[in-house]
Structure 1
């Protein structure tokens, strides 16, 4: 019997299709796990639902980022409202992306029984990578090329003060009443201090928040698929 772990996530509430690799993993559970009332608490099922749930959260916040532009009227007075909501939803998106990475790291640490503290079960921990290469070198080779990407995802929520600056900074570049698209932008580089950004906003590389989703989604899905393969192999 299938566990349908993906239906206990935000995918249940979304029109976004569940990625095929999650469905295939549940087919594996159906074939490998004996059905009883405790099957839903099997460690592999718990890890699968955790990873799937966080990916579904990423998709949900991306939907909200896009939807807020459609649901608020195009009247000038609504532009600032759309910008404020976009900033709030972007914070949720960034937190969900970071939580997804943490969920994947916990899954690997659990599957391969890495002898590390709970605080080190994260892709930002050097001890995590050290133990992974010692215990499962082939697994380490599959994930190590993603470390730069993991670093990028981790920096965004750590630098939200600078990457999602006050709206007045954007008004300094685009005028006191900038258009909606201008007010939705965020900084792709978190190295500038706020006073410097306000004084010289033209030096900032402004991007649409949805560009992050476009940039990150393929790699986040690829990461989830890799983790699903590991869960399957260890179940």
Structure 2
């Protein structure tokens, strides 16, 4: 059951590219087969309209181009008062505030509010840029995230380490974050980069072992860099396979 507008908002969170179900059901379970319900985004864009078995997917005009061919309802659930919809292959631009409106219900119109958050949550990539007698310069990259993540370096005990100011760019509706840090020798020489997106309750990380925080031969450094490149390529292949 949903809360009517003014009493609460339902939040739906999905990864980019997945299908999103936006719930909307009447507590009375009134059959909607001969009723009207209208879905709008941000109070303006026409997402989906059902009117006594007439709908956008049956050729009815008026649906916003953003949603054409991507939105459907649950016909078998109409008799149970279910006006929920599915948005397929979600995009970042689908994020926003949606309203499910029953304009002709008696004694008065009813509406329900749903907030959709479409997120992109890539895993960070970490690597060694340089190792000197003073320590090791590490780099963490978070490519193509949304919403904007907070990025931190931590040691093996989970303590947050002081790092440089993050470099943040915004391209194609995605955030790209790079965070550098210089570390010195610890008991484990293991360091972890953590990316947190509070809006979608998502945390992901990557860790790296620094073989020496001090003098190191160029050949060893080259091997470490090669290992990091191969690790990154492997992650990209696995990620592409999953998609």
Bigger strand share:
2
Taking structure 1 as the reference length, what is the TM-score of the superposition? 0.24
**More contact order relative to length (CA 8 Å, sep ≥ 6):** 1
Bigger helix share:
1
